[in-house]
Chains A and B, each alone.
Chain A
């Protein structure tokens, strides 16, 4: 019946719903309620008839989870709405839950005394910090991760050059952020859906975190905080303690991790994924790093930041060499492997560019296909007009586009 709703949903809601579906007996006609308990209900208990006012059921309005709602279904609130708290403190029922009173006016400070701590496993020299807890990786996985980081590094260098030579139009590099790209992906499986964005924090971010928390969606929000939004440093973008502090504001579990520490990133995402799946909740991961590269091939970042700052992060704080030290320290890698890898990757990439450059350009028809599922008559007409024009003035159009 509603296979997509069960099979693909791994959230706690859906599993709870599935259990109800399997365990609940068929409702007898006399038991028919206003809101028969089906599997596709977010709230397991329908609101009492009198509470069907306004825009949503009172139960959800009070912010209680579905499970808690079931548990307190029979609880009666006292008439006057006041509940005795401990000692002089009183608590009162407002929509959203009980809150305690205080007689003093206390403003929450705009920032905490200390910033949220950052999880790291490897020190700057690639040695595991004693006492650190992390997800073990096999030799095979460790080498694969490292190879991919090197591949990314070489690819970025070659393609940046290619753009400067006019062979491609635009490119964005990940210099200094390779550990984030690779280690985060390494902690996921091929069936996980990854939606990467080059997106400086926009309004959607806030609504998405809010939705995900409300709907208990198993999502990892991975925020790469590299210190810059093109030329705008982060202290001009927000005044909060980075992105991690926002997790709590949306009712979401979060962690801050050293983005230049491949093992820490791997471990954090691995654990976040487990939590998301097992507990049916979203997790926010903020990876701190530094954008060594220019924002893109259209940017010259030396215009807005000191060159020695860039150099420092490019060399001393390089995530690739830091991780390499750890892999070598385990006896899993050596200098010979390094030069062989870099050489092979470079050859492979250069060959790929040549192959791509030799491929024929897309034909004119591709301009009009896939706008809709089928090409409608108005677009067929527009295509006809374009072909006519090109036939009449072939010298004004590129020769390598197949008509």
Chain B
């Protein structure tokens, strides 16, 4: 970890700067998604999303809403929940006085005290275990992994304790923890800091997993995760923290198990999550120009999958493309493909395509790193192939 410690100090500004330069285009695509949904209006809302879930409702809410960056949205959620529930607390490295490596907990220690927003020693397995123990005794810890990759060190606690203690104690112990942090491929953060832990965690029984991708769903999912009685892993992305979006002033909580309709369409169902949503939406622009009408769903819930939303889409389009950042082998895409085959085989007119990263450690060299992440051009080509 010695090399990693110097990265900790630089990763934040590098990632933030990188995300910052992305934020304009990314934010624009977020707004496109929002207005796209408003155009589709009736159909989108009728998808059984509750009023609170639908981004369209943000535009139609009584007050104007306020603009936030994604990390601020997460922070707002934390503050709101910590204000109403004294059992909610935060553990992690540098979350207290420093305010978190990605500023998600900035100012929280001043507001709630540095015992309730606790700086832990550098021992992920141990402070995750501490969070589990605290949860067993009635607290609701939000455990931050400074980078999701570091939580590999806490795998024992996450699997054996978070995931299983409710079961092995015959329901006597609840583990209502939220485990959160940034993952995914950043900008030259190196192989060990560019991991997709959702691949590794998805098998753990008793765990729930969600991935946020916009300020709106980040806040809503964080609140839902904190309120859940189950252990929830909330995947954030290193490059999405500076996304800007207007979110409602009123309180809202999203459903952990629901997927998000980003762009309704007729020709193909594109399933994606986290940062790849933006690559998909960028590809969607090109596809629309070429005369295609893709339906884009941000699956958000990685465990369990929202097969209701996904199924309805497949029954309409009969073609599926999965776009993920996970590696080819054993990723979320692999499981999703399998679940779709199990449930919707009869509705498919073409084999399910899945675009993933290769089964390689993420390279440090920038052009190689770019080549390991699915790019919009690949997505366009894949849709063209599926829709032949």
Contact = CB atoms under 8 A, between A and B. Distances in A.
A40 B114 contact: yes
Contacts of B174: 373
Interface string A343-385: 0000000000000000000000000011111001110000000
A41 to B, nearest CB: 5
Nearest to B133: A195
Contacts of B282: none
B82 to A, nearest CB: 10
B125 A204 contact: yes
Interface in A182-213: 193, 195, 203-204, 207-208, 210-211
Interface residues of B, number: 39
B340 interface: no
Interface string B255-287: 001000000000000000000000000000000
A40 B123 contact: no
Contacts of A208: 126
Contact of B116 (A3, A40, A369, A377): A40
A376 to B, nearest CB: 6
B86 A4 contact: yes
B120 interface: yes
A371 B205 contact: yes
Given A52-B97, A55-B94, A35 B110 contact: yes
Given A204-B126, A207-B126, A208-B126, A372 B230 contact: yes
A377 to B, nearest CB: 7
B121 A214 contact: yes
A13 interface: yes
A1 B115 CA distance: 15
Interface stretch (B163-171, B243-251, B326-334, B360-368): B163-171
Contacts of B229: 373
B87 A4 contact: yes
B97 A203 contact: no
B171 A370 contact: yes
Contacts of A56: 94, 96-98, 119
A195 B169 CA distance: 14
A210 B123 contact: yes
Contacts of A55: 93-94, 97-98, 119
A147 B129 CA distance: 36
Contacts, number: 87
Given A34-B110, A55-B98, A203-B125, A370 B116 contact: no
B294 interface: no
A251 interface: no
A370 B206 CA distance: 8
Contacts of B113: 38-42
A138 to B, nearest CB: 32
Given A40-B115, A370-B171, A377-B304, A211 B110 contact: no
Given A52-B97, A204-B126, A211-B130, A376 B115 contact: no
Interface size class of chain A, counting residues whose CB lies under 8 Å from the partner chain: 35 or more
Main secondary structure of the interface of A (DSSP, over half): loop
B139 interface: yes
Given A40-B116, A204-B125, A372 B138 contact: no
Interface in A1-54: 1-5, 8, 13, 17, 34-36, 38-43, 47, 52, 54
Interface string B78-118: 00000000110000011011100000000000101111100
Interface string B336-356: 000000000000000000000
B121 to A, nearest CB: 6
A210 B121 contact: yes
A52 B114 CA distance: 14
Contacts of B93: 55
A39 B86 CA distance: 14
B195 interface: no
A57 interface: yes
A208 B167 CA distance: 25
A36 B167 CA distance: 43
A234 B112 CA distance: 45
Contacts of A4: 86-87, 138-139
Contacts of A204: 125-126, 129
19 contacts: A4-B86, A4-B87, A4-B139, A5-B116, A39-B113, A41-B113, A42-B113, A55-B119, A57-B97, A204-B125, A204-B126, A210-B121, A214-B121, A370-B166, A370-B167, A370-B169, A371-B166, A371-B206, A376-B257
7 smallest beta-carbon distances between A and B, as pairs: A40-B113, A207-B126, A207-B123, A373-B229, A370-B171, A370-B167, A40-B115
Interface of A: 1-5, 8, 13, 17, 34-36, 38-43, 47, 52, 54-57, 193, 195, 203-204, 207-208, 210-211, 214, 369-373, 376-378
